[in-house]
């Protein structure tokens, strides 16, 4: 089988280099183009020395004619970029995965409220498939445009999903208490992200409202088929990679919750339900596409606590995008994603 040609638009951020790392280890694809207006002409390995000897491409100016020749194009660009360029690629029959938020939220007016800009192609929002394989695997396989989920969203959705699908918890007062490493803020220079600012410290942010909130609510409402009441509080912790989501739900139905999770995810290649009493660590998924989940019922009370951990750059971004690519191109879903987590 001929190798599939893929391109990355906007490959200079942390998500871009993670895509490069994963795609260069993929047996069935050929990385043909990587674009960056700011770095055009510069060898990729100059910017990312870990790719020296592995990636011999140079960054190039975006060229739609070249992108159209690819089987699939990844957009690892800021919010608001893909929606301006994707329609031409879709019209040409090229398949697209957007790693930003342009096509995630189906309510366009709600998206415009949270992202502070008008949407330039609302018609494509309706046809875009939300790329959480554990929910939309069959739809992803035939999609031309996939909206790759947010990182906090992935950890929270996979943690809550089995309970809401079975109607076993109250939907009125769910709590998602989530912590992320600093790479989640991107690669741009920012005083708030300096080591002298984040080291030896820990803080909440975005408490009045975070852009991932409407996306989480959309997923959970779809799973439960009713309106959701959710308190979502993100935190910044002084580590580079990882998300830890501590999720709280009040029990309204009786079940073997451990068995429920094990059966829901038994055929999912990248969701690992840990044994009873486990406490998953972010380091156990660092560099991998795994989501590890554990379920607790403290003091046999009426509150379930679900612990969900992912690497925000892999299952929370680039790894999930490669997983979606595999499904879209008819490849083995695990291809290019079998690397073990990095320890220590």
Establish whether 121 is a catalytic residue: no
- Identify the active-site residue in 58, 70, 121, 151: 151
Give the closest residue to 132 by CA, choosing from 315, 265, 7. 315
The whole-angstrom separation of Cα 11 and Cα 17 is 6
Nearest to 210 by CA among 228, 227, 188, 235: 235
Write the secondary structure of 2-52 as one string of H (helix), E (strand) and C (coil).
CCEEEEEECCCCHHHHHHHHHHHCCCCEEEEEEECCCCCCCEHHHHCHHHC
Cα angle for residues 143, 222, 249 (degrees, 5° grid): 135
∠ CA 158-162-165, rounded to 5°:
115
CA 265 – CA 301 distance, rounded (Å) = 25
State how beta strands 95-98 and 72-75 pair: parallel
First to last CA, the chain: 38
Q: Which helix (H) or strand (E) holds 215?
A: helix 213-224
What is 87-132 written as a DSSP string? HHHHHTT-EEEE-SSTTT-S-HHHHHHHHTS--S-HHHHHHPEE--
Residues with a catalytic annotation lie at 151
């Amino acid at each position: 089988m001929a190798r599939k040609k893929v391109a990355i638009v906007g490959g200079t951020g942390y998500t871009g280099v993670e895509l490069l790392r994963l795609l260069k280890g993929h047996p069935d694809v050929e990385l043909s183009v990587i674009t960056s207006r700011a770095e055009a002409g510069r060898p990729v390995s100059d910017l990312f020395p870990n790719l020296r000897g592995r990636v011999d491409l140079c960054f190039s100016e975006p060229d739609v004619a070249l992108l159209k020749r690819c089987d699939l194009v990844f957009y690892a660009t800021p919010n608001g970029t893909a929606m301006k360029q994707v329609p031409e690629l879709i019209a040409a029959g090229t398949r697209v995965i957007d790693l930003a938020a342009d096509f995630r939220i189906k309510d366009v007016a709600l998206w415009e409220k949270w992202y502070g800009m008008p949407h330039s192609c609302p018609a494509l929002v309706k046809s875009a498939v939300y790329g959480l394989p554990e929910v939309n695997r069959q739809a992803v396989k035939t999609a031309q445009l996939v909206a790759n989920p947010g990182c906090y969203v992935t950890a929270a959705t996979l943690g809550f999903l089995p309970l809401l699908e079975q109607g076993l918890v109250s939907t009125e007062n769910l709590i998602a208490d989530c912590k992320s490493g600093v790479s989640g803020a991107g690669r741009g220079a920012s005083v708030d992200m300096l080591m002298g600012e984040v080291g030896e410290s820990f803080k909440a942010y975005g408490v009045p409202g975070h852009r991932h909130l409407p996306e989480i609510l959309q997923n959970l409402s779809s799973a439960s088929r009713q309106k959701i009441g959710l308190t979502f509080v993100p935190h910044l912790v002084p580590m580079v990679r990882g998300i830890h989501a501590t999720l709280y739900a009040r029990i309204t139905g009786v079940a073997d919750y451990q068995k429920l999770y094990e059966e829901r995810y038994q055929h999912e290649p990248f969701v690992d339900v840990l044994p009873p009493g486990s406490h998953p660590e972010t380091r156990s998924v660092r560099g991998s596409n795994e989501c590890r989940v554990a379920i607790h019922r403290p003091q046999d009370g009426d509150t379930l606590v679900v612990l969900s951990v992912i690497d925000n750059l892999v299952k929370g971004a680039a790894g999930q995008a490669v997983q979606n690519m595999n499904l879209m191109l008819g490849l083995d879903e695990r291809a290019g994603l079998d690397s073990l987590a990095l320890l220590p």
